[in-house]
Amino acid sequence: MKIYFAAVTIFLGLSACNSNVKSTEEKKENSIATVPASQTIVNSPLLGSYVGPFGDNKITLLITKVIGDTVEGRSVVGGNDRPFSGLATKANGIYTINAKEPGDDKYDGQFSLSFDEKNTNAIKGNWKPFKEGSHGGAKDFSLTRNTFKYLVDVGQYPQASKRLLKEDDVANMIKEDLEIMRNEIFARHGYCFKKKHLREQFEDKDWYIPNTVDVKNDLTEIEKKNIALIKKYEKYAEEYGNDFGR
C-alpha cells in the first residue's frame, strides 16, 4: 500500500513538473511571438537629435531611449516641448518608428519615421495632428542628425554672452536691435520661441537649434545682468521713440 502511494506521489510530482515546464515554455513562446526576433531593435543606432524644417518652423526631434522595440523621445518646435513614445520595427534595412504624443495638448499628434540603416544620420517622416487642421495640418519632413551645443561666439551680438555690457554698449541702439540682442542670449541656449517673429529671426541661422522651452537655469550670471540692462533700455526706447538713442 505504501509502495502504491509513493508511486502515485512520484507520478503526480512529475506531471506537475512537466506541466510547469510546459506552461513556462508556452509563456516564453507567446512572449517571443508578440515581438518577432526579426523586428526587435537590438542596438540603438537611432538615438540622437535630428534637426530641420517643419512646415514654417524648425524642429528638433530627439530620440532618447530605445529598449527592445519601444522608443521614447521628444519634439521641440513652435514654442512647445512634447514627449512621444511608440514602437520600432526593422525590415529590409529600414527602421520604421510609429509614435504618438500624449494627446493632452491641442497641438499633439503622431509621428511616422523611417531611417535607412546605411545612413542613420538622416530621418524622413510625417506628422499628423490628432485634431484636424491643428498646427497647420499634417507635415512631411526630412531631418539631419545635429546635436545642440551652447556657443558664445555666434549671432550679431555675441558680446552679450561673453562680457558684462556697459551702458555705452546699448545707449544708442534702437528698440528692435535691443530686442534681437536680448533674445540672442536665449537662442544661444537653444530656447524655442513661442513668438513667431522671434522664430523667424533665428530659425534660419545654422547655429540655432531649438532644444528647450526653459533656459532660466542655464543662463550665466553675466547673461542675467546683461538681460536686465538691455530690457531697461528697451523700455526707454519704447517710451521715448525717435527722441531716444538716435
pLDDT tens for residues 219-245? 999 999 999 999 999 988 776 665 544
Same domain, residue pair 188 and 113: no
Residue 84 sits in a domain whose CATH number is 2.40.128
Task: Name the band, by pLDDT with cuts 50, 70 and 90, for residue 136.
Answer: confident
β-strands 70-77, 80-91 pairing: antiparallel
How high is the pLDDT of residue 35? 45
Same domain, residue pair 10 and 67: no
Whether residue 99 contacts residue 126, with contact meaning beta carbons closer than 8 Å, is answered with no
Assess if residue 39 is contained within a domain. Answer: no
Same domain, residue pair 88 and 139: yes
CA–CA distance, 119 with 117 (Å, rounded to integer): 5
Last residue of a domain, one of 92, 117, 145: 145
- Map grid coordinates 517710451 to a residue: 239
How high is the pLDDT of residue 45? 87
Same domain, residue pair 66 and 133: yes
Beta-bridge partners for 45: none
How high is the pLDDT of residue 2? 44
Q: 222 CB contacts (<8 Å, ≥6 apart)? A: 161, 162, 163, 164
Structural domain range at position 103: 48-145
Interval 3-39: pLDDT, tens: 444 444 433 444 444 444 444 444 333 332 344 544 5
Q: What value does the mean pLDDT of the chain take?
A: 84
Assess if residue 54 is contained within a domain. Answer: yes
Interval 61-87: pLDDT, tens: 999 999 989 999 999 999 999 999 999
Interval 154-180: pLDDT, tens: 999 999 999 999 999 999 999 999 999
Assess if residue 60 is contained within a domain. Answer: yes
Same domain, residue pair 10 and 79: no
Q: What would the 3-class secondary structure string for 154-208 be? A: CCCCCHHHHCCCCHHHHCCCCHHHHHHHHHHHHHHCCECCCCHHHHHHHCCCCCC
Whether residue 213 contacts residue 76, with contact meaning beta carbons closer than 8 Å, is answered with yes
Same domain, residue pair 131 and 56: yes
Please name which of 218, 212, 216, 215 lies closest in space to residue 81, comparing C-alpha atoms. 212
Same domain, residue pair 112 and 170: no
CA torsion sign, 177 to 57 to 214 to 147?
A: negative
Same domain, residue pair 74 and 141: yes
CA torsion sign, 35 to 37 to 38 to 40?
A: positive
Last residue of a domain, one of 121, 145, 169: 145
> Half-sphere exposure of 238 toward its Cβ, with a 13 Å CA cutoff?
9
Count up the domains in the chain and report the number: 3
Assess if residue 153 is contained within a domain. Answer: no
How high is the pLDDT of residue 189? 98
Q: 77 CB contacts (<8 Å, ≥6 apart)? A: 54, 57, 58, 59, 60, 192, 210
Better-scored residue on pLDDT, 125 or 4 = 125
Last residue of a domain, one of 97, 114, 145: 145
Assess if residue 40 is contained within a domain. Answer: no
